[in-house]
Amino acid sequence: MKSSQDKDDAKPLDKPEQFLFQLSQIPNFSQRLFCILFQSSFHECITSVLRKIVILQRVCKTLQNSEVVLQILGLVLAFGNFMNGGNRSRGQADGFTLDILPKLKDVKSSDNSTSLLSYIVAYYLKHFDEDAGRETCLYPLPEPQDLFQASQMKFEDFERDLCKLKKDLNACLAETEKVCKLSSEENLQPFKDKMAAFLTQ
């Protein structure tokens, strides 16, 4: 711009170049931009983590407090104990570990027509669920989508996401202090008040 000021045939900057030039004139532009971008994404990031935690809590609470879950686990225990009764190779085990639950569908009847899982479900519906087959019948477990999402969650991911947010928040605080310290009074607002309100919140 300086080299072409005195020339008659000098062309003015196009709008994109004018925009970039004006941005370059803002004091501490990169620090300001980092803080503003972090502020705009923070709510979405924290909401995403919170939504996952709420789903996980809801699934855990339902599984822990549901009478239906206890009845179904009681049936698994009773049928498993009956099937293992007298089996010396299994030592007549009375009980089961949770990793056996996905394998219930693989245990077949002697004629291979039904699985233990199907039998337990049919038994539960016949003997425990009074509303089975009616419109008033309710799905007794957490929503399948919630169960799937909860099964995919890892505490390490929560920890990683929250550590990154904390690190970026500390960086934002440091950058805001730097901008406020280095900027003249006329270039301080509205950045100072908006970032102060965000960081306090």
What are the tokens at 156? 């390490």
Please enumerate in sequence order all residues whose Cβ is within 8 A of that of 80, keeping only pairs 6 or more positions apart, or say none: 93, 95, 96, 100
Give the pLDDT score at 163.
Answer: 94
> CB–CB of 103/80 below 8 Å?
no
Q: What is the pTM of this model?
A: 0.62
Tell me if the bond preceding 190 is cis, omega within 30° of 0: yes
CA distances from 1 to 7, 24, 26, 29 (A): 10, 13, 17, 20
> CB–CB of 80/120 below 8 Å?
no
* Phi, psi of 137, deg, nearest 5: -65, 130
Give the pLDDT score at 165.
Answer: 92
Q: What would the pLDDT profile of 13-58 be if each residue is shown by its tens digit?
A: 777 877 777 777 777 778 888 888 888 889 999 999 999 999 999 9
Task: Decide if pLDDT at 87 tops 60.
Answer: no
Mean pLDDT over the full length of the chain: 83
DSSP letter for each residue of 155-188: HHHHHHHHHHHHHHHHHHHHHHHHHHHHS-GGGT
* Phi, psi of 115, deg, nearest 5: -105, 165
- For residue 75, count CB atoms less than 10 angstroms from its CB and return exposed for 0-12, middle for 13-18, buried for 19 or more: middle
| 115 against 3, higher pLDDT | 115
Give the pLDDT score at 142.
Answer: 82
Give the pLDDT score at 56.
Answer: 92
What are the tokens at 143? 């929503």
Give the pLDDT score at 167.
Answer: 93
- Give the integer Cα–Cα distance in Å for 192 and 197: 9
Give the pLDDT score at 30.
Answer: 81
For residues 49-70, give the mean pLDDT: 90
Please enumerate in sequence order all residues whose Cβ is within 8 A of that of 125, keeping only pairs 6 or more positions apart, or say none: 132, 133
Percent of the chain with pLDDT over 90: 16
Closest CA to 62 of 164, 146, 137: 146
pLDDT-derived band at 164, boundaries 50, 70, 90: very high
Task: Decide if pLDDT at 144 tops 90.
Answer: no
Give the pLDDT score at 80.
Answer: 84
Please enumerate in sequence order all residues whose Cβ is within 8 A of that of 63, keeping only pairs 6 or more positions apart, or say none: 69, 141, 142
Give the pLDDT score at 35.
Answer: 86
Q: What would the pLDDT profile of 92-125 be if each residue is shown by its tens digit?
A: 667 788 888 888 898 888 888 889 999 998 888 8
* Phi, psi of 108, deg, nearest 5: -105, 160
